[in-house]
Amino acid sequence: MALKIFGEGKSNSAVEKKIAASFQKVKKEMDMHLGTINDNSIEIEANYEYLCRLEEKIDKLNEKIEQLQLLIATASKLKSSIEIEPLSLREQEVFLALYLSDGFVRYAEIAKRLGLTETLVRNYVTGLIQKGVPIIKKYQDKETFLLIEPDFKNLQTRENVLKINEEMLRQFKNGFYKKTDEIEEF
């Protein structure tokens, strides 16, 4: 006697069709799930690439922030390391003559501008240097040319570390001379 799995009156081909249809349905659902998974995978990849680009930009921003922090720290150290004694009014005048000049200037030009002797101007410049004002001296053809150190000049412009009298500064700006053609740039 043969074993019948599906029942007496049903043919094997009808059962096989139902099984095949069920498998087709399962296969179709699996294909849909696979398609959804693939779509999600593509979206995940796109998001990953976007996150990588964002991370690069964040890293660049962090580098810039670190550079700014270093710059601020350096400026802060520069400011705190500058210990300058208060300047007399004449020293402020000599400083302004240097500060407002376009490039290097000679003692004689400062003396002429301020109505002082060259010797007095030399003494005031020496006093400025002794008080901590960074002045660059260049020598050419037995003459001395003076210039305020550019970083200090910028710091003075921003923060008035020398506490220069504002009215005096205004007067100097209104009537100050330009660099002569005789002075060669270094």
Which of 8-12, 54-58, 60-64 is predicted with the least confidence, judged by mean pLDDT?
8-12
- Whether residue 106 lies inside any domain: the answer is yes
Domain final position from 81, 111, 137: 81
Q: How far apart are CA 97 and CA 180, in angstroms?
A: 14
Which of 43-47, 106-110, 159-163 is predicted with the least confidence, judged by mean pLDDT?
159-163
Q: Mean pLDDT of all residues in the chain?
A: 81
pTM above 0.85, yes or no: no
Mark whether 120 and 68 lie in a shared domain.
Answer: no
Mark whether 123 and 162 lie in a shared domain.
Answer: yes
What pLDDT, on a 0 to 100 scale, did the predictor assign at position 100?
87
Mark whether 73 and 25 lie in a shared domain.
Answer: yes
Range of the domain at 62: 14-81
- Whether residue 181 lies inside any domain: the answer is no
- Whether residue 183 lies inside any domain: the answer is no
Which residues, at least 6 apart from 37, have a Cβ–Cβ distance to it below 8 Å? none
Q: Over 60: is that where the pLDDT of 181 sits?
A: no
Mark whether 169 and 93 lie in a shared domain.
Answer: yes
What pLDDT, on a 0 to 100 scale, did the predictor assign at position 28?
92
- Whether residue 6 lies inside any domain: the answer is no
Output DSSP code: residue 179.
P
Mark whether 72 and 142 lie in a shared domain.
Answer: no
Domain final position from 41, 61, 81: 81
Tokens 């810039």 label which residue? 64
Average pLDDT over residues 167-171: 78
What pLDDT, on a 0 to 100 scale, did the predictor assign at position 164?
84
Which residues, at least 6 apart from 111, have a Cβ–Cβ distance to it below 8 Å? 117, 118, 120, 121
Mark whether 65 and 127 lie in a shared domain.
Answer: no
What pLDDT, on a 0 to 100 scale, did the predictor assign at position 76?
67
pLDDT digits (tens, 9 = 90+) for 12-49: 788 888 898 988 998 999 989 888 888 888 888 888 99
Mark whether 73 and 116 lie in a shared domain.
Answer: no
Domain with residue 96: its CATH number is: 1.10.10.10
Which of 8-17, 49-58, 104-113 is predicted with the least confidence, judged by mean pLDDT?
8-17
Q: Over 80: is that where the pLDDT of 88 sits?
A: yes
Mark whether 48 and 110 lie in a shared domain.
Answer: no
Domain final position from 81, 111, 136: 81
Percent of the chain with pLDDT over 90: 25
Mark whether 65 and 119 lie in a shared domain.
Answer: no
The larger pLDDT score, comparing residue 82 to residue 68, is at: 68
How many structural domains are present in the chain? 2
Q: Over 70: is that where the pLDDT of 174 sits?
A: yes
What pLDDT, on a 0 to 100 scale, did the predictor assign at position 167?
78
Q: How far apart are CA 106 and CA 103, in angstroms?
A: 10
Mark whether 148 and 170 lie in a shared domain.
Answer: yes
Q: Over 90: is that where the pLDDT of 171 sits?
A: no
What string of H, E and C letters represents the secondary structure of 66-127?
Answer: HHHHHHHHHHHHHHHHCCCCCCCHHHHHHHHHHHCCCCCEEHHHHHHHHCCCHHHHHHHHHH
